[in-house]
Amino acid sequence: MENILVNKRSLSSRDWLVDVLVALAAPLFAYVQLYLATSPIVFHDDTFRDMVGILTGAPDPSAYVLLAFTALPLAFRRMFPWPVYVFVIVLYSFAQDSAPGYAFSIIGPVIALFTLANERPRMEVIVAAVLAAFLLCVATIPSDNDSVALVVRVQNLSYMALAVAAGVAWRAYQHSVRETEQRALEAERTRETEAARRVEEERVRIAREIHDITAHSLSAVGIQAAAAEKLIDRNPEAAREAIVQVRMTSKSALEEIRSMIGVLRNEDAEAEMRPTNGTDRMPDLCEYARKAGLEVHYEAGSYQRQNAPAFVDVALFGIAREAVTNTVRHAQAKNLWVRLAMSDGYAMLTVEDDGIGLSSKVATEHSPLSGHGVQGMEERVRVLHGTFQAGDRAAGGYRVQVSLPLGERE
């Protein structure tokens, strides 16, 4: 059960300083008001004083002590709002009764009620307001004139009502500020999360690009170097041609990697403008497979490159390059089929071979699925909201099928 006597909150040094200053300033204000009310400065007409019942001269010193204690406890108003409020309002009523004819300032109860309205739940505020209304209605009024007494009561009740309204309004304002700050923090966290997500996506993309470049080029270098090794004695000219191909392939791979690094470093303005490899490089990819000893069957009759978004065209080539590289490295195939097509708002790619497939023991031990190859292809397709299928063919071998929407898909 919540303890209504103590507020479960921590106050900063600044909060305590403000409360202490308020507690010191309030009795000074009350003393000044009492002095002005009892001196001829404000009411200099004795006849008027006698008529409304206001006394001239300072009250008993005990009245000053009581008046001080209606304000000094305000130093603890935010830590103990209920005890301070009850103490102040009851003491104010008692002080007013003990010194008839003197109008004491109600500033202490007003500040205490304002604090309670700002700190405590609405039901408690209503109870506090009812208590204030009761005590102020039964307290002695410093005048024998009924009209003046009514005005003073209405004035005091109005001050207390304003204290409640101001406390509730200030509390609503503080709540609104906290909500705004919370939304700003959440927005900042969302931006940081989004930035981290984009960094991760970029990291994956770079890893995929590097994997595609190195896997494709190094496998070609390995095949051509093996061919040169076999031909070096029997056919030096053919071996020399294979070595030239090794040099050209490695040079091309280095240029692609340097281009990527140049974009990342933002040092090469030309690198940023250099087009990314698309399906226009398919003939080069097929030539790479032919040099690896495969019979390549390439079809792209219904595929219109100019009608495909650049990101779709680039993705199709990247997937085809990965699939062909996997076939060269792992499939032990004789034939390779690469088909591009476009129909009903989709671009389709099929890469299949007649090799050993994935289900055989040898393929499982050297499966490209164990690396980033097929995973990278699937990630490309998923980002573009397409469909991806990869698996063994019924007639033997392996097939990769991709379908990418030419427009955005939700």
Q: Per-residue pLDDT for 358 more than 50?
A: yes
How much is the pLDDT for 365?
47
The pLDDT tens digits of the residues spanning 106-141 come to 899 999 999 999 988 889 999 999 998 888 887 766
Tell me how many degrees the CA angle 321-377-370 measures, rounded to the nearest 5.
Answer: 100
Q: Per-residue pLDDT for 272 more than 60?
A: no
Residues listed for the chain: 410
Taking the mean position of all CA atoms in its chain, how far away is CA 60? 64
The β-bridge relationship of strands 346-353 and 335-343 is: antiparallel
Q: Per-residue pLDDT for 279 more than 70?
A: yes
Helix axes 81-98, 61-69, angle to 10 degrees: 160
Q: Per-residue pLDDT for 20 more than 80?
A: yes
Residue among 306, 299, 259, 250 at smallest CA distance from 278: 306
Both structure tokens of 330: 């792992």
**Greater confidence, 351 or 199?**
351
**Low-confidence winner among 48-52, 75-79, 120-124 (lowest mean pLDDT):** 48-52
How much is the pLDDT for 387?
94
Domain ranges in the chain are 13-144, 279-410
How much is the pLDDT for 146?
66
Cα torsion angle, 246, 251, 252, 257, sign: positive
How much is the pLDDT for 5?
78
| C-alpha span between 265 and 272 (Å, rounded) | 10
How much is the pLDDT for 271?
43
- Mean pLDDT confidence for 336-346: 94
Residue among 71, 72, 107, 109 at smallest CA distance from 89: 109
**Low-confidence winner among 71-85, 103-117, 199-213, 229-243 (lowest mean pLDDT):** 199-213
How much is the pLDDT for 320?
92
Q: Per-residue pLDDT for 47 more than 90?
A: no
- Mean pLDDT confidence for 209-226: 70
Q: Could you please state the CATH topology (level 3) that the domain comprising 279-410 is classified under.
A: Heat Shock Protein 90 (3.30.565)
**Low-confidence winner among 2-6, 308-312, 362-366, 388-392 (lowest mean pLDDT):** 362-366
**Greater confidence, 318 or 149?**
318
- Mean pLDDT confidence for 360-375: 52
How much is the pLDDT for 155?
84
How much is the pLDDT for 192?
78
How much is the pLDDT for 325?
87
How much is the pLDDT for 273?
45
Q: Per-residue pLDDT for 94 more than 90?
A: no
How much is the pLDDT for 101?
62
Location of structure tokens 């226009």: 280
Q: How confident is the model at residue 364 (pLDDT cuts 50, 70, 90)?
A: very low
Q: What is the 3-state secondary structure (H, E, C) of the chain?
A: CCCCCCCCCCCCHHHHHHHHHHHHHHHHHHHHHHHHHHCCCCCCCHHHHHHHCCCCCCCCHHHHHHHHHCCHHHHHCCCCHHHHHHHHHHHHHHHHHHCCCCCCCCHHHHHHHHHHHHHCCHHHHHHHHHHHHHHHHHCCCCCCCHHHHHHHHHHHHHHHHHHHHHHHHHHHHHHHHHHHHHHHHHHHHHHHHHHHHHHHHHHHHHHHHHHHHHHHHHHHHHHHHHHHHHHHHHCHHHHHHHHHHHHHHHHHHHHHHHHHHHHHHCCCHHHHHCCCCCHHHHHHHHHHHHHCCCEEEEECCCCCHHHCCHHHHHHHHHHHHHHHHHHHHHHCCCEEEEEEEEECCEEEEEEEECCCCCCCHHHHHCCHHHCCHHHHHHHHHHHCCCEEEEEECCCCCEEEEEEEECCCCC
Location of structure tokens 């000053």: 64
Q: How confident is the model at residue 368 (pLDDT cuts 50, 70, 90)?
A: very low
- Mean pLDDT confidence for 313-317: 90
Long-range contacts of 293-296 (CB under 8 A, 24+ apart): 293/223, 294/327, 294/328, 294/333, 294/334, 294/335, 294/336, 294/353, 295/334, 295/335, 295/336, 296/335, 296/336, 296/338
**Low-confidence winner among 25-29, 88-92, 171-175, 259-263 (lowest mean pLDDT):** 259-263
**Greater confidence, 304 or 195?**
304
Both structure tokens of 33: 């008001």
